[in-house]
Structure 1
């Protein structure tokens, strides 16, 4: 009996490879989003620190130059936070795009795998039928030989 060969195996292999690439891209996008979230957390920590410094300096007697310096630093951190939020939003959008592509690739791969399973099942059923016909033919031949 010959071995089962799925005639569209190369297509299935390509679809599985595309799914792996989509998984990799999704993983990279999640990793980048996590990095950008961490950076945002760091900036927010700096902002809190600058706000604390500003409150502390307001109770003390300090030069206006020092007060302006801390205020400018705080504003610079706020601008960085705003830019980082935009970057993070872009990362989230990219992650969603990768997630949708991955979902699509998984569905496609699953479809091709089901086609392969169906073809294998059909091959098995055909093999059983052929075997049964052969057994019936052998039985008929034995019966005819005994009858003669």
Structure 2
């Protein structure tokens, strides 16, 4: 029996590669999101520590300059937290975009795989019909031959 070669195999391979690339992009976006979330968490913890220092320092007798330095650093941390919160939002949006892209690529690949399967079934059916016709012809020839 003849070996089946799908004429659009390169497209099927390309769609598989595109899906794999989309998986990598999603993985990268998830890694970046996790990194941003971890950094935001660390900044919030650091801010909490410095707020506790500021409160305990305000109750004690430390120089005003020291209090101002702590307050300035807390304000700097607040700005960093705001920027990092924005970075987390962007990273989440990037993850959503990559998830949608991956979903589209998976659907596209599945469509091409189904088309390949249908073409293979059609080929197999044609080959079976051809074999059956050949067998029928041989049976007819054998049936007619002894009659001579």
TM-score class, shorter-chain normalisation, is over 0.9
Q: Partner of 1:50 in structure 2?
A: 50
Structure 2, gaps ≥5 residues long: none
Q: What root-mean-square deviation, in Å, do the aligned CA atoms of Structure 1 and Structure 2 show?
A: 0.8
Q: Partner of 1:89 in structure 2?
A: 89
CA positional deviation for 1:2: 1.5
Distance of 1:47 and 1:116 partners within structure 2: 58
* TM-score, normalised relative to structure 2: 0.97
* TM-score, normalised relative to structure 1: 0.97
Q: Partner of 1:147 in structure 2?
A: 147
Q: Partner of 2:118 in structure 1?
A: 118
Listed as ranges, the matches of 1:89-108 within 5 Å are 89-108=89-108
Q: Secondary structure of the residue that 2:62 maps to in structure 1?
A: coil
Distance of 1:147 and 1:54 partners within structure 2: 114
Distance of 2:139 and 2:95 partners within structure 1: 65
List 4+ stretches of structure 1 deviating above 2 A: none
Q: How many residues align?
A: 148
Distance of 2:51 and 2:126 partners within structure 1: 78
CA positional deviation for 1:51: 1.0
Distance of 2:65 and 2:44 partners within structure 1: 24
CA positional deviation for 1:15: 1.0
